[in-house]
Structure 1
Amino acid sequence: MITWLANPERFVKFARPAAPIAAIITVLTFIIGIPWALVFSPEDFRQGASVRIMYVHVPAAWMAMFVYTIIAVAGFISFVWRHVLADAAIRYAAPMGAIFTALALVTGSLWGQPMWGTWWAWDARLTSVLVLFFLYLGLISLRGAIGNETRAARLVAIAAMVGWINVPIVKFSVDIWNSLHQSASVIRADGPTIHASMLWPLAIMGLAYMAFFAWAMLTALLAEVDVRRVKALDSKTGPASRIRIETNASPGGAFKPGAANG
């Protein structure tokens, strides 16, 4: 499926209708999720209203790991098959992943201060998430530092795959080491331990984050395909010819016979 979508024509056929659907889901889930999570969800008997930071923090942490996994998979596809869309996916996903990770770190600090009495601790979970943030920044910086696009794609793909080892470390850090951070309460082998009154708004917010990422990625990659098509046309006919073709195109999108030849 992934390699099938690597074909630009197939990707466009999939992404054109999928992008607006993802946008609609994003809007609806945020409209439902934000008031439900931040206003109507119950307070915790120990944490009080501060527990509502969870509805911003936890989906951001999920997305931080999920986006890097997407990047690692795209890196593998880019490295093995050299699909340009896979490389573009890394380029567009890395900044979004960095933002999700930064949001997880900031909200985690805000949530942790009243619970732990400190804004930061060199805890296994916190430290591994910070490493994840630097991995995102590293991918962004590595691409920007290399002028050759092909070489940059190869090196970024390798770095993405190697860096993925930190994702399971983030996930299982609270189980492997003693941690201030609580253990997983949603994604567990024996099922969620969080009460349904909190689980549902958390799930809605998680879906909202996911839909937003999907919409942003599809939109960016569609733009990438359009840009590459223009570049390909320029390389074959030259910019002046492309301008003449576009100028002489009929309103319906079909070219006038002989328009490109004068």
Structure 2
Amino acid sequence: MTSPGRAAARAPEGWLRFAAPQQFYPLAGRLAPWFAALAALLTIVGLYIGFFLAPTDFQQGEVYRVIFIHVPAAWMSMLIYLVMAFWSAVGLVMNTRLSFIMSQALAPTGAMFCFVALWTGALWGKPTWGAYWVWDARLTSQLLLLFLYFGFIALTRAIEDPRRADRAGAVLALVGAVNVPIIYFSVQWWNTLHQGASVSLTKAPSMASIMLAGMLVMALAAWMYSIAVALWRVRALILERERHTEWVGEVLEAEARTAGGVR
């Protein structure tokens, strides 16, 4: 009969075993290329639909095509922050190192999408509103989201103790998540220049089906890209965090031998 002490020392079984960085590291390496390939394929399809198949808008002309980049980027900037907050909450409650690493791996990609959303929105706003920037409720709250991303990245990098950095970043991610619904509902709560949502769960989309298809494909491409990049970044963070462990030394030796064999 197995003693209680030995039973407690057993490694988790099933999917729970991937909560350990040592187990998740090879899985992330296997999955990342597949998500990257899907991202590339979907991007090609989405851009082809948006720039070649979708008709010209009768009001805005050709300039509206920026939505095939702007809208998916804006969606992803909000969604990634919510996922960061989720992993931060899991890390605080379950005290799992990998959860904090996942949150930190997502932050640079979320910041990139937030910047792209603001930049493409400015390009769209000039011919539409006559100005690159206005202190509109949605634009201002979106800019605040970018600062939250920068603040999260800076905070987790500035604190030398990884445990303290993890918890400080997690608290900031959870507090900053309040800004996401403000961004989404700002056009309903306040009188803003920004147009309302073109896609809603409660009513039919206010655009042609081919336009909607292109935008959704591009959104899916952005999601696949985010997963691929996050998985690669997680691997790098795991190696950095676990660099003093025996298993990381074995991984680096194996990779060095593989690289030497390829040469």
Deviates more, 1:28-37 or 1:49-58: 28-37
Distance 1:141 1:250 in 2: 36
In structure 2, distance between residues paired with 1:205 and 1:250: 39
Alpha-carbon offset, residue 74 of structure 1:
1.1
Aligned to 1:169: 182
- What is the 5 A alignment of 1:219-234? 219-233=232-246
**Which of 109, 115, 120 is equivalent to 2:133?**
120
Residue matched to 1:257? none
Q: Partner residue of 1:179?
A: 192
Alignment match, 2:7: none
Farther off after superposition, 70-79 or 8-17 = 8-17
Contact 2:49–2:210 (Cα < 8 Å) also in 1: no
| Residue of structure 1 in register with 2:3 after alignment | none
Give the whole-Å Cα distance in 2 for the aligned partners of 1:9 and 1:152. 21
Amino acid at match of 1:127: T
Query: 1:53 corresponds to which residue?
Result: 66
- TM-score normalised by L of structure 2: 0.84
Q: Which moved more, 1:147-156 or 1:60-69?
A: 147-156
Q: Pick closer, same or farther for the CA change 1:233–1:197 going to 2, 3 Å.
A: same
For 2:49, which of 12, 27, 36 is the aligned residue? 36
Shift in CA distance, 10/193, structure 1 to aligned 2, threshold 3 Å: farther
Identify if the C-alpha distance between structure 1 residues 250 and 94 changes in structure 2 by more than 3 Å, giving closer, same or farther: closer
Name the structure, 1 or 2, with higher relative contact order (CA <8 Å, separation 6+).
2
Report the counterpart of residue 261 of structure 2 in structure 1: none
**Shift in CA distance, 148/189, structure 1 to aligned 2, threshold 3 Å:** same
User: What does residue 120 of structure 2 align with?
Assistant: 107
Q: Structure 1: 5+ residue runs without aligned partners?
A: 252-262
* Offset of residue 4 of structure 1: 6.3
| Distance (Å, rounded) in 2 between the aligned partners of 1:223 and 1:146 | 18
Q: Percent identity?
A: 39
SS of residue paired to 1:231: coil
Distance 1:182-1:151 versus aligned 2 partners, 3 A rule: same
2:110 aligns with: 97
Which segment drifts farther, 64-73 or 219-228?
219-228
Q: Which runs of 5+ in 2 are unaligned?
A: 1-13, 259-263
1:159 corresponds to: 172
Q: TM-score, normalised by structure 1?
A: 0.84
2:143 alignment partner in structure 1: 130
Matched-pair contact (CA < 8 Å) for 2:145–2:179: yes
Instruction: Output one character per residue of 1:147-180: Cα deviation in whole Å (capped at 9) or x when no partner.
Output: 2111111111001000000000011111111111
